[in-house]
Amino acid sequence: MKNIAVIGAGTMGNGIAHTFAQSGFTVKLIDVSEKSLDKGMATIAANLDRMVAKGAISEEDKHKTIGNIITYTDVKDGVTGVDLVVEAATENVELKLNIFRQLNEACAHNTILATNTSSISITQIGAVVAHPERVIGMHFMNPVPIMKLVEIIRGYNTSDEVTKTIMDLSVQLGKVPVEVNDYPGFVANRILMPMINESIETLYNGVAGVYEIDTVMKLGMAHPMGPLQLADFIGLDVCLAILHVMYDGFKNPKYAPCPLLVNMVRAGKLGVKSGEGFYDYSESKKAEKVAKQFL
């Protein structure tokens, strides 16, 4: 397996493309937007420059990595002749199902089809393609080139052979794969999102402020960043989408999103990517300044 296609040039997609390319794979990075592809490639180059500056890789390694990536705006052209497709589009059920319908038409029947979804059912996605045994979840963590974990999610029909292939491939990438079963939120988000949601409820109920909640979790629980800072980093819209998937999947009120989270997303306060969430990022991408509405 040497030829990989990655669909989506956003934060996760360009990180996945970077990781495969740095490991010597030929990567076809696909996005319908030429602008998104340019931005994704610029991000990869900037991240590689940082690695060179730290002495983690050489200048030659950087050029080889970039040279391993080819960009496409057409899905059919991009997936021709690949061994594996990793879909990394926005966390939207209908969007992902439509992409997999396209892949069903454009890919050979033995091409493995993976999704980077963090919560959506692999079984549901697999149901729209022929040979659903080749559909699997490959949930990378952000930032992809640095984070070691990959959640490998088996759908109801995913074969043992495909699972082993993707587990072994993840090790080739220098990652630590963990196999989990297909239930809403899998493991990572089933545990993480209720914690983030409860942190937002704690703020909403006036128990403590943004800085205080994050400080308790960082210093008291040894978390590298507080849950509200982490929510901003993930994207509040993404957190809300995952909570909706979990609430719809389990029908359990403990997964219902906090009204404060809902209103912030409606207001466009999405965290780092919009410049404001629980923190103000207008001057720095670091969570150093609490957003004005929470002071």
Binding site, residues?
Answer: 8-13, 31, 91, 96, 118, 142, 273
Q: Point out the catalytic residue in the list 116, 151, 170, 197.
A: 151
E strand residue ranges, the chain: 3-7, 26-30, 69-72, 84-87, 112-115, 135-140, 149-154, 176-181
Is 151 labeled as catalytic in the residue annotation?
A: yes
CA 25 to chain centre: 20
How far is the C-alpha of 137 from the C-alpha of 154, rounded, in Å?
A: 6
Query: Which residues define the annotated binding site for NAD(+)?
Result: 8-13, 31, 91, 96, 118, 142, 273
Question: How many other CB atoms are there within 10 angstroms of residue 223's CB atom?
Answer: 15
Mapped onto helix, strand or coil, the DSSP state of residue 117 is coil
Q: Exposed, middle or buried: residue 216 (CB in 10 Å: 0-12, 13-18, 19+)? A: middle
Mapped onto helix, strand or coil, the DSSP state of residue 14 is helix
Q: Point out the catalytic residue in the list 119, 121, 189, 197.
A: 189
Is 274 labeled as catalytic in the residue annotation?
A: no
Is 118 labeled as catalytic in the residue annotation?
A: yes
CA 129 to chain centre: 22
Is 119 labeled as catalytic in the residue annotation?
A: no
Q: Point out the catalytic residue in the list 14, 36, 68, 118.
A: 118
Please give the positions annotated as active site.
Answer: 118, 139, 151, 189
